[in-house]
Every structure is written in structure tokens, then in C-alpha cells.
Amino acid sequence: MMFNPTDLLRPHLKQLVPYSSARDDYKGKDGVFLDANENPIGSITEENWNRYPDPYQLELKAKLAEIKGVNAEQIFLGNGSDEPIDLLYRAFCEPQTDEVIINPPTYGMYKVSADINNVKAKEVLLTNQYDLDSQALLSAIQPNTKIIWICSPNNPTGNDVSLEKIEIILKGFQGLVVVDEAYIDFADRPSFTTRLNEFPNLIVLQTMSKAWGLASLRLGMAFCSPEIVAILNRIKPPYNLSGLTQRTVLNALNNLEKKDQMVAEILENREGLQNELEALEIVKRVYPTDSNFYLVKMKDAKEVYLKLIEKQVILRDRSKVVLCEDGIRITIGTKKENKKLIEELKKLSN
């Protein structure tokens, strides 16, 4: 059977008349623009931001398509990747009726967004090695299962899950499979964007918030079929990406070298930190990572977390998260920050 995302759409959205932005029919040309109730004089800032930005971010998408090796029509851009996460629920999951599947321990927003949208998130735990349990996942699928969320490299465990198992899910499930690759730039493997033409039910999420160092600008990317992009475009807020974000990111994309340098530095620091952490008496286990953070199991994790806050070193306490008992998530810092971290942890070890 041919996969058609419209078959998965919430029924009432099939009739939706989307908002049409001013200027939708008159893009990129000169004229006297009295159609959008903007301030014609200028802005209160030095730079002029008085005109609404391109609602579909075409210039930015053209550049991203080049860099990412996809077609511009396969890109949806959101206000952080948290926006497409929410929009996917709103497009495809009928509240109190449909289900999604998540694989804890994993990124928290899949569940929070499900709760906000009143959609059931069925939990299929990762294995003890933090890999997908593909058999259990396939068994958990029901006729009303719309989305399976897979995070790889996974937050908070740090590792890539098995790519063969992701393929098994893509082949065995007729709904949408989201592969969240927020940390892909720190992993040593090709992105699933290379598989988009093979799997029409695949959505790959990436973000500018990690490797690119642009967390504050809020830019998330969903790579998927043009049909899914069209659905998301119909329900998104009209101007979801600010002009400042669009312009700044477009400029940043000319500076790939700087991004690569930063990633290389973070990877170098990651390696150094592993040895130092493993040498500490309070550390029980440092989990292998494909990300810019480590999940570390420690003696008295909660205590360590609180003691370090007193020293102004802020970590992420994950000790109450399923399968992460005694776990603390540590972002790779600069050399100086990592040194301070290790110094404080050594004091606790004595």
C-alpha cells in the first residue's frame, strides 16, 4: 500500500482553510506595501525590522538544502525543534483517541507535548544497553498508533541506538517514524536524511542549538517528504521564524568552518573528560557517548549534584529517570570548565 501522510491526518484538518499571509501572492517584488499593517517609517532599532519575514523561509531553505544534501521542498523550519515536535502532534494525533510510542529514557518533550495535546504516549523502555527494543516496539503498535519517536544519539544516555533497528521500525510501521538527530554532528555516522527518498514515513529532526552554537536563535529543522512539509506549513503559526533568526542563520551557513572547528574542539574535550571522570573514586560508570554530553553514574548522584551547585557547577540530575538511577548528565564544557568540574569532583572523592 502506498504511504500517504494525508491518510494519517486528523479528520477535521482535511477541511482546514489555512491562514493566508499578506503578500502570499506577491513575494519578493518591489511595491508600495499597504497590505500587512506594518509601520511604514521604520523600526525603533537601528536596523530595520519593520516588515514581516518570509513565512516559508525560502532563501534559508535553499541554502540548507545545499548543505544538507536534500531538496528544499523536504525542509520544514521551526522555532527550535520543539515546534515541529508539537506540530506533529497537532497534525496527526487526535486527542484522547490516538497514541504515540516513546522509548524512555529519552528526551522529555515527546511526552510533555503528548500530555499537552492530550495524546497517550505509550512507553517501550530502551534495553539495559540503551538500545531500541525493536521487537517490543513492533508489538506495541496499535491501529491508532500515529508516531514512533526515536532519539539518536539519545538524550540523556548519549549513545546512538542501533541503526538497523531504526530501519526495522521504518519498514514495520505504517505510521510516522521521527528520528531526532539533535546531536548528529557529534556522532560518527551519516544522517538519516540520506534515507528520506527510501522511507516516505521518515521525519528527521535536527537543530541549530547544539553544534552550531545558536540555541538562543531557536531554529529547528524537520526533513521529510514534501507532503508532510505541506501539512506542517498549513498548521504552523504564520511567521514562526523571526527575520533576525533567518538572516543570522543564513550568514552563519557561510561559516561552516567555524562550526566544524567547534565540533572538533568539543570532541577533543570529550575524550579528555572521559579519562578524568573514569579516574574518580565516586564515578561508577561513564557511558559511551555519540553526543556532546556524558551520562555518568555516581555514588550518591543527588548529593554530588547538590554539592556541585554550591560550587557553581551546574549539572543535570537524572538520578530519578528510569534506567538512569544514580545518573548525572554532564555537558562537555571548555577545557577550563571541565577542569573546574574535575577539581570539584575530586574534592568530593576525598
Instruction: Report residue 218 as a C-alpha cell.
Output: 531557536
Q: What's the min distance (Å) between Cβ of 113 and ligand PMP? A: 11
Which contacts qualify for 301-305: CB closer than 8 Å, 24 or more apart? 301/326, 301/327, 301/328, 304/328, 304/345, 304/348
The site string for ligand PMP over 157-186 (x = CB under 6 A, - otherwise) reads -----------------------x-x----
* Residue 9 or 151 with smaller CB distance to ligand PMP: 151
Q: What's the min distance (Å) between Cβ of 54 and ligand PMP? A: 20
Binding part of the chain for ligand PMP, among 78-86, 230-238, 279-287, 316-324 by CB under 6 A, reads 78-86
Instruction: Assess 55 for contact with ligand PMP (CB under 6 A).
Output: no
Amino acid at 197: N
Candidates 82, 98, 160, 317; binder of ligand PMP (CB under 6 A) is 82
Is the peptide bond prior to 105 cis by the omega test (within 30 degrees of 0)?
Answer: yes
Torsion angle defined by CA atoms of residues 114, 120, 123 and 124, in that order, rounded to the nearest 10 degrees: -110
* Residue 109 or 313 with smaller CB distance to ligand PMP: 109
Torsion angle defined by CA atoms of residues 95, 101, 107 and 109, in that order, rounded to the nearest 10 degrees: 0
By beta carbon distance, the residue nearest ligand PMP is 80
DSSP one-letter code for 195: G
Binding part of the chain for ligand PMP, among 67-75, 80-88, 257-265, 305-313 by CB under 6 A, reads 80-88
Q: Where are the beta strands (DSSP E) in the chain?
A: 75-78, 99-102, 120-123, 145-151, 176-180, 202-207, 220-223, 283-286, 293-298, 316-317, 327-331
Instruction: Assess 215 for contact with ligand PMP (CB under 6 A).
Output: yes
The site string for ligand PMP over 127-156 (x = CB under 6 A, - otherwise) reads ------------------------x---x-
Half-sphere exposure of 126 (CA within 13 A, CB side): 28
Q: What's the min distance (Å) between Cβ of 151 and ligand PMP? A: 5
Residues that bind ligand PMP (CB under 6 A): 80-82, 107, 151, 155, 180, 182, 207, 209, 215, 220
